[in-house]
Amino acid sequence: MRLQSDYFSVFDNVRLTRDANGVLVAEFHNNGGAFVMSAQAHTEFVEAFYRISQDRANKIVILTGAGGEFITNVDWSSFGDVTDPGVWSQVHDEGVQVLENIANIRVPVIAAIEGRAHVHSDYALLASVIVAAEGATFQDVAHFAAGVAPGDGIFTTWSYRAGAGRAEAFLLNPRPLTARTAHEWGVVAEVVPNGKALSRARELAELYLKAPEVTRRNTRVHFIQPLKERIVREVGYGLSLEGASSADLAKSMRAKSKPASA
């Protein structure tokens, strides 16, 4: 079987490394440091996760972030004019495709969370298991707190993992949620000392590798199917609502910034 590792070095914001056992680590980063979401990254993640999902040499996938963080914030200006239907059409399509491509990874996925998972924690919640450091926090700084409807999959994943009531309260009053609370909610599987999330994820990967390959693959496929169905049903619609709210927010901000007429 041909090892399809030709894609490992082509992405600027996700570093891909794979060990001899087929454990792939996908690390979000900006120039090697903590990752801030940008339009460029949003685009390249579509291809990155598609390639990861198609590569049968990947036996386990670990998602993590560089610089002691997961995803910290958003570079809003990089996305351009969100009142332009063409701009939002691209955001919409990429947003759906990224989540579907992560859900289509057909081997166990482990999220190793250090520091802030304050943007796109839905990526982590698509993992089979989340290992979080003691100091890790979950928050949604990119939607209701910023004046935008949370339609990009953040509600779908949090309501699936934690329940609709908790998800709605979490998203309407965005405050940092500790790893311990996320564990109590059933979102996080294990809480480990700071700096140990990735090493614990590697230990779990070794454990999962003891199962036959078809068993590993079919278990992931089985476990992710209900959440995948919700993504397909809900996220395109949710992103349309988010787009309308983003356009309205941008218009209102422009109106406030206009100087008063003489």
Task: For each of the domains in the chain, give its residue range(s) and CATH number, in order of start.
Answer: 5-255 (3.90.226.10)
| CB-facing half-sphere around the CA of 246: CA atoms within 13 A | 25
**Burial profile 80-112: b = 16 or more Cβ within 10 angstroms, e = fewer:** eebeeeebbeebbebbbbbbbbbbbbbbbbbbb
- As beta bridge partners, residue 133 has 192
116 phi, psi to nearest 5 deg? -90, 120
Cα radius of gyration rounded to whole Å, the chain: 18
The residues that bridge with 117 in the sheet, in sequence order, are: 71, 138
Per DSSP bridges, beta strands 137-138 and 177-178 are: antiparallel
pLDDT at 261: 53
How much is the pTM?
0.94
pLDDT tens digits, the chain, 262 residues: what are they? 445 678 999 999 999 999 999 999 999 999 999 999 999 999 999 999 999 999 999 999 999 999 999 999 999 999 999 999 999 999 999 999 999 999 999 999 999 999 999 999 999 999 999 999 999 999 999 999 999 999 999 999 999 999 999 999 999 998 999 999 999 999 999 999 999 999 999 999 999 999 999 999 999 999 999 999 999 999 999 999 999 999 999 998 888 877 655 4
Cα–Cα dist 37/116, whole Å: 13
Structure tokens at 238: 């949710």
- Identify the three-state secondary structure at position 213: helix
**φ/ψ (deg, to 5) at 42:** -55, -40
Q: How far apart are CA 97 and CA 103, in angstroms?
A: 10
Q: pLDDT by residue (tens digit) across 110-150?
A: 999 999 999 999 999 999 999 999 999 999 999 999 999 99
Q: What are the structure tokens assigned to 65, written together? A: 């972030």
Per-residue pLDDT, 2:
47
Residue whose pair of structure tokens reads 């924690």 in the numeric block: 121
Residues facing 65 on adjacent strands: 28
Strands 190-192 and 129-133, how do they pair?
parallel
Identify whether the C-beta of residue 211 lies closer than 8 Å to the C-beta of residue 165.
Answer: no
Q: Which of 119, 74, 121, 87 is nearest to 102 (CA)?
A: 121
Question: What is the Cα–Cα distance from 4 to 53, expressed in whole angstroms?
Answer: 11
Among residues 32, 108, 10, the alpha carbon closest in space to that of 63 is found at 108
